Structure 1
Amino acid sequence: MNAFAPGPRGHMLFGCSERFRNEPLSLLNECRQRYGTLVRLPVGFGASFCLAFDPADLDTIFQGENFGRSDIAAAFDPLAGGSMIIADGQKWKEQRKAVIPSFALPRLRELALNVDALAHERVADWSNRVDHNGDIDLQHEMVEYAMDVLTQFLFGHRIGAQAIARISHGWTLSLRYMNIRLSSPVPLPDWLPTPNNRRLHTAAGQIATVLLEIIAQHRSSTDAAAGGFLGDLIDYRDEQGQALDDQHILREIMGVFLAGFDTVASAMMWTLGDLAKYPSWQQAVRDELNSVATSSRLDLKDTPVLEQCFNESMRLSPPLWLIDRKAAKPCVLGGQRVPGGTNIIMSPWVTHRDPSFWDRPLEYHPEHFAATAPSRPKYAFFPFGGGRMKCIGIGLAHLQLKALLRQVLTNYELNVRPEHLPEIEPAFVLRTRNGLKTSLTRRVAHGVSTVAI
Structure 2
Amino acid sequence: MGRTSSLPPSPPGTPVIGHTAAFAADPFGFVRQSVESTGDIFRMELLGRDVYVVAAPSTIETALSNGETFAKLDDFRVAFDEALLSVEGDQWRRQRHAMEDFFAPARIGDDAETMGQVTANRIEEWPTGGRIQLDEEMRSIALENLFEVVFGASLPATDIDALAADANALNGWFEPTSWVLPDWVPTPARRKFRRGSDRLRDWARSILDETGAGPADESLLATLAALRDDPDSEFDQAEVLDQVVGMLFAGHETTALAMTYACHLIGSHPDVADRFYAELDTVLDGPLTLEDLSALEYTTQVINETLRLYPPVHAIPRVTTERVTLGDYVLPEDAEVLLSTWSVHRDPRFYDAPLEFDPGRWVDTTARERGFEFIPFGNGPRICIGRHFARLEMKAVLAAIGRRYRLEATDDLDVFPKMTTQPDGSVFVQITERTGPVADGIADS
Deviation, structure 1 residue 89: 2.1
2: CA distance between counterparts of 1:228 and 1:425?
A: 35
Please list the CA deviations of residues 382-408 of structure 1 after superposition, one character each: whole Å capped at 9, or x if unmatched: 112111111111121122222212222
One-letter amino acid of the structure 2 residue matched with residue 434 of structure 1: G
Summarize the Cα distance change of 1:324–1:155 in structure 2 as closer, same or farther, 3 Å threshold.
Answer: same
1: CA distance between counterparts of 2:416 and 2:50?
A: 24
Query: What SS does the aligned partner of 1:127 have?
Result: coil
2: CA distance between counterparts of 1:311 and 1:288?
A: 16
Query: What SS does the aligned partner of 1:108 have?
Result: helix
Counterpart position of 1:344: 337
Tell me if the contact between 2:178 and 2:189 (Cα under 8 Å) persists in the aligned partners. Answer: no
Deviation, structure 1 residue 29: 0.4
Pair 1:432 & 2:420 matched:
no
1: CA distance between counterparts of 2:54 and 2:414?
A: 26
Deviation, structure 1 residue 351: 1.1
Counterpart position of 1:271: 262
1: CA distance between counterparts of 2:72 and 2:177?
A: 13
Tell me if the contact between 1:299 and 1:398 (Cα under 8 Å) persists in the aligned partners. Answer: no
One-letter amino acid of the structure 2 residue matched with residue 392 of structure 1: I
Deviation, structure 1 residue 298: 9.3
Pair 1:10 & 2:13 matched:
yes
Number of residues of Structure 1 aligned to a counterpart in Structure 2: 434
Equivalent position to 1:35, from 30, 34, 38: 38
One-letter amino acid of the structure 2 residue matched with residue 83 of structure 1: A
Provide structure 2 residue ranges, at least 5 long, that are not aligned to the other structure: 441-445
Q: Which one is further off, 2-11 or 379-388?
A: 2-11
Deviation, structure 1 residue 236: 4.2
Question: Pairwise mapping of residues 372-387 of structure 1 onto structure 2 (< 5 A)?
Answer: 378-387=371-380
Summarize the Cα distance change of 1:303–1:67 in structure 2 as closer, same or farther, 3 Å threshold.
Answer: farther
Equivalent position to 1:303, from 280, 296, 308: 296
Pair 1:410 & 2:390 matched:
no
Summarize the Cα distance change of 1:243–1:5 in structure 2 as closer, same or farther, 3 Å threshold.
Answer: closer
One-letter amino acid of the structure 2 residue matched with residue 412 of structure 1: Y
1: CA distance between counterparts of 2:409 and 2:216?
A: 42
Deviation, structure 1 residue 197: 5.2
Provide structure 1 residue ranges, at least 5 long, that are not aligned to the other structure: none
2: CA distance between counterparts of 1:291 and 1:305?
A: 12
Question: Pairwise mapping of residues 224-235 of structure 1 onto structure 2 (< 5 A)?
Answer: 226-235=217-226
Tell me if the contact between 2:314 and 2:341 (Cα under 8 Å) persists in the aligned partners. Answer: yes
Counterpart position of 2:116: 116
Deviation, structure 1 residue 21: 2.0
Pair 1:178 & 2:173 matched:
yes
Summarize the Cα distance change of 1:205–1:238 in structure 2 as closer, same or farther, 3 Å threshold.
Answer: closer
Summarize the Cα distance change of 1:165–1:315 in structure 2 as closer, same or farther, 3 Å threshold.
Answer: closer
2: CA distance between counterparts of 1:39 and 1:428?
A: 21
Summarize the Cα distance change of 1:261–1:377 in structure 2 as closer, same or farther, 3 Å threshold.
Answer: closer
Please list the CA deviations of residues 287-340 of structure 1 after superposition, one character each: whole Å capped at 9, or x if unmatched: 333434598649976433122111111111111111112222222222222223
1: CA distance between counterparts of 2:280 and 2:261?
A: 19
One-letter amino acid of the structure 2 residue matched with residue 64 of structure 1: N
One-letter amino acid of the structure 1 residue matched with residue 9 of structure 2: P
Tell me if the contact between 1:181 and 1:188 (Cα under 8 Å) persists in the aligned partners. Answer: no
1: CA distance between counterparts of 2:356 and 2:29?
A: 17
Counterpart position of 1:59: 61
Q: TM-score, normalised by structure 2?
A: 0.87
Tell me if the contact between 2:403 and 2:439 (Cα under 8 Å) persists in the aligned partners. Answer: no
Tell me if the contact between 1:7 and 1:35 (Cα under 8 Å) persists in the aligned partners. Answer: yes
One-letter amino acid of the structure 2 residue matched with residue 359 of structure 1: D
Please list the CA deviations of residues 29-59 of structure 1 after superposition, one character each: whole Å capped at 9, or x if unmatched: 01111011111222221x2122111111111
2: CA distance between counterparts of 1:361 and 1:169?
A: 32
Deviation, structure 1 residue 448: 9.1
Q: Which one is further off, 388-397 or 299-308?
A: 299-308
Pair 1:391 & 2:384 matched:
yes
Summarize the Cα distance change of 1:443–1:171 in structure 2 as closer, same or farther, 3 Å threshold.
Answer: same
Deviation, structure 1 residue 214: 1.9
Summarize the Cα distance change of 1:447–1:203 in structure 2 as closer, same or farther, 3 Å threshold.
Answer: closer
One-letter amino acid of the structure 1 residue matched with residue 270 of structure 2: P
Q: Which one is further off, 436-445 or 236-245?
A: 236-245
Counterpart position of 1:371: 364
Query: What SS does the aligned partner of 1:218 have?
Result: coil
Tell me if the contact between 2:324 and 2:331 (Cα under 8 Å) persists in the aligned partners. Answer: yes
Query: What SS does the aligned partner of 1:94 have?
Result: helix
